[in-house]
Chains A and B, each alone.
Chain A
Amino acid sequence: EAGVTQFPSHSVIEKGQTVTLRCDPISGHDNLYWYRRVMGKEIKFLLHFVKESKQDESGMPNNRFLAERTGGTYSTLKVQPAELEDSGVYFCASSQRGTSSFFGPGTRLTVL
């Protein structure tokens, strides 16, 4: 069974540009989460999808971040326009009802 996959693994962009991160959860997992770890700090929750619906987006830092999960399969997280403080590692995780979360390898975003 394939695990959670994320694309790209690394992204280097300039301030003001747009970046879109993609997450493919484990097949059949209704729950999909986005998290972010800024250098050396804790991993922070961004938002939670149940199928295609946003269950909890309390962790989204501001309206420059837009997450979608059309059709309840893969998800994208767009940052537009990117700022320096958006640099970090973005993790995606998925779970089925009642199970622990499985994490992807993360996307390292560097904003110059």
Chain B
Amino acid sequence: GNSVTQMEGPVTLSEEAFLTINCTYTATGYPSLFWYVQYPGEGLQLLLKATKADDKGSNKGFEATYRKETTSFHLEKGSVQVSDSAVYFCALSRTGTASKLTFGTGTRLQVTL
């Protein structure tokens, strides 16, 4: 079946540091890949997505590239801010139809001044 593995947290970084959160997946066919973010006290928000190999999703300075050869979708940001402190979830779903999401365990990011 489908599964998502992401690096365990918490990840603690100083403001302006470079961020990488690793995510790898196992899936049949060609899934769509997502990063969701949950800020403190809020629900999940879609951060970015990619629907086919080599696509790059980007939003708010975050990027992730769909790498089929390594079955990965690592999240990166060049310079994090305190306001980026949140829990980040990598997820996948079947492409093309309304379909359930399969999530990783989430990675908590704490950014300090």
Contacts and interface: CB of A to CB of B under 8 A. Distances in A.
Interface of A: 4, 30-31, 33, 35, 37, 40-45, 48, 50, 56, 59, 91, 93, 95, 97-98, 100-106
- Size class of the B contact interface (CB-based, 8 Å): 20 to 34
Contact of B104 (A35, A42, A105): A42
Contacts of A106: 43-44
A48 B43 contact: no
Contacts of B62: none
Contacts of B42: 105
A102 to B, nearest CB: 8
Contacts of A98: 96, 98
B38 to A, nearest CB: 9
B45 interface: yes
B86 interface: no
Given A31-B98, A50-B98, A42 B103 contact: yes
Q: Which 8 A-B pairs have the closest CB atoms?
A: A105-B43, A103-B44, A43-B103, A45-B100, A31-B98, A42-B105, A103-B43, A42-B103
A50 B45 CA distance: 22
Contacts of A103: 36, 43-45
Interface of B: 4, 34, 36, 42-46, 49, 89, 91, 96, 98, 100-106
Contact of B4 (A4, A37, A42): A42
Given A100-B34, A103-B36, A45 B46 contact: no
24 contacts: A4-B43, A33-B100, A33-B101, A35-B103, A42-B103, A42-B104, A42-B105, A42-B106, A43-B44, A45-B100, A59-B100, A91-B44, A93-B101, A95-B98, A97-B98, A98-B98, A100-B34, A100-B49, A103-B36, A103-B43, A103-B44, A105-B42, A106-B43, A106-B44
A104 B96 CA distance: 23
Given A100-B34, A100-B49, A103-B36, A45 B43 contact: no
